[in-house]
Amino acid sequence: MKKTSTRLADGRELVYYDRRDDTVRDAVDRRPLGPVATHSEIRHDRLLGDAVAIASHRQERTYHPPADECPLCPTRGDRLSEIPDSAYDVVVFENRFPSLAGDSGRCEVVCFTSDHDASFADLTEEQAALVLDAWTDRTAELSHLPSVEQVFCFENRGVEIGVTLGHPHGQIYGYPFTTPRTALMLRSAGAHRARTGRNLFDDVLADELADGSRVVLEGEHWVAFVPYAAHWPYEVHLYPRRRVPDLLALDGAARTEFPQVYLELLRRFDRIFGDGAPRTPYIAAWHQAPFTGERGAEKGEERGEFALHLELFTIRRSSGKLKFLAGSESGMSVFINDVPPEAAAQRLREVAST
């Protein structure tokens, strides 16, 4: 992998990740852009104890542009975009309309391919491996920023999810705090350790493998399963067999196998609802341990208990029907799932590639 860092016309950082070491990136952003103006702040909810990012400038972000005006396609001739070069493998750049900025963290966009009409599932294993390298490198870089305590790599796909740009891309958030979801998992892991003397994530994976009814696929280094208490109609958790806290700690064997396993999962998701059905909308989310931040040794102990894993789920519950977060889910955070996890796992095994 070759990494080339440059700056856009408004000062934002852009990084090319190329498979070839001899690739030269010297294109200049020719757009007449002024400085980025952000109005992002973190407000804490005293009742719930969580945080809300207030980012009013995001109201002006690009919304469903026509394909020939896509800002994530390469620049070609006089058609200028966020990527100055005329082609690319993987590109990461600072979001022009970030939810988090400055002392409140950082937001980046990850373009998986220059092919506007592709999807992550269409990538080759070599391309997917480069994306994994980019996620890992950005996790390392953002972890050194004083405003970042936790790095979250994710992809939203499909208009049903709320995606406003159709080009295949994901995002990376550098939060200035440990997110509520992660804090809850860490509390559960701590309580499990105190009660049993064992690691919670290890026990979850071992229990799923022993039961087997919810296991979707197994590799030598990765296991994918529908969790026992799945929140979403079709939800898969992907774990490395060897527990590590983050992407940085994956060994070479796990990194090599990941593209094969992950691409197979994504392709199965597109077949859940039968041939001819629209591509399945999904969210793919990497859960990584927070970095030490201000809590020092205590956070270091928590990192040792956490297990890197990827959560992949869709809000589609059947062909043409979506799972909405209505009264119970939105009002009380109590999910009601219409699809039994065992049935979801069975369906994901049925649509395996031949």
Q: Is the pLDDT of residue 110 over 70?
A: yes
Residue 38 has pLDDT above 90, yes or no: no
DSSP string spanning 150-203?
EEEEEEEESGGGT-S--SSEEEEEEESS--HHHHHHHHHHHHHHHHHSS-HHHH
Same domain, 196 and 315: yes
Among 44, 116, 167, 169, the one annotated catalytic: 169
149 with 48, same domain: the answer is yes
> Which has the closest alpha carbon to 155: 169, 167, 166?
169
DSSP string, 140-160: HHHHTSTT-SEEEEEEEESGG
Number of domains in the chain: 2
Same domain, 54 and 202: no
pLDDT at site 276: 79
Does residue 198 carry a pLDDT above 70? Answer: yes
For residue 305, the domain's CATH number is: 3.30.428.10
Count helices and strands (H / E) in the chain.
7, 15
Question: What does the pLDDT read at residue 67?
Answer: 78
Question: pLDDT by residue (tens digit) across 265-312?
Answer: 999 999 999 887 889 999 999 999 999 754 444 566 789 999 999 999
End position of a domain, from candidates 129, 150, 175: 175
The pTM of this model reads 0.95
- Full domain range(s) for residue 244: 180-350
At 8 the three-state DSSP class reads coil
Mean pLDDT, range 128-149, rounded to an integer: 97
The reply to whether 192 belongs to the active site is no
Which of 304, 260, 25, 292 minimizes the C-alpha distance to 146?
Answer: 292
